[in-house]
């Protein structure tokens, strides 16, 4: 996945940097929040249930409001697109890790480590004569 950003207009939200559309941002945030609520990791079956709820339009999103009540809205997102456009890129970038033996998805800090590695690669390139 390619991340393009403008250093002068860098958004505060990481999901706005990573994903191309607003709907992808919302689904990515939902997935991360769901995983955080489950202790930072979920099983393959739980991921499938999450994707199926999105596909069936059963996922409820609560928008932030100024008052104590937020507006609830049901979200629908195609299951195949969830895997292709949300989960697979997040795994590829190192935001989410998958343990093949335990069949568990877990939140990962590999993205941060890779960004630092890319920065060091750039510094080495600048030092070349």
Adjacent-strand bridge partners of 71: 63
Give 66's pLDDT tier (boundaries 50, 70, 90). low
Predicted confidence band of residue 65 (pLDDT cuts 50, 70, 90): low
**Given this model, what pLDDT does residue 63 score?**
64
pLDDT of 41: 96
Q: How confident is the model at residue 73 (pLDDT cuts 50, 70, 90)?
A: confident
What does the pLDDT read at residue 69?
Answer: 63
Convert the pLDDT of each residue in 12-35 to its tens digit. Answer: 999 999 998 999 999 999 999 999
Model pLDDT, residue 74: 86
For residues 15, 109, 94, 100, the Cα torsion angle rounded to the nearest 10 degrees is -130
What per-residue confidence (pLDDT) applies to 16?
92
Inform me whether the pLDDT recorded for 112 exceeds 90: yes
Separation of alpha carbons 33 and 7, rounded Å:
27
């Amino acid at each position: 996945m390619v991340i393009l950003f403008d250093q002068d207009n860098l958004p505060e939200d990481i999901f706005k940097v990573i994903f191309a559309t607003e709907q992808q941002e919302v689904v990515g945030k939902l997935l991360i929040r769901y995983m955080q609520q489950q202790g930072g990791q979920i099983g393959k079956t739980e991921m499938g249930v999450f994707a199926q709820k999105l596909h069936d339009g059963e996922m409820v999103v609560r928008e932030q409001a100024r008052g104590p009540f937020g507006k609830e809205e049901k979200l629908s997102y195609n299951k195949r697109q969830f895997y292709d456009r949300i989960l697979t890129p997040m795994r590829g970038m190192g935001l989410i890790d998958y343990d093949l033996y335990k069949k568990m998805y877990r939140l990962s800090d590999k993205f941060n480590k890779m960004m630092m590695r890319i920065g060091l690669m750039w510094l080495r390139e600048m030092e070349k004569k």
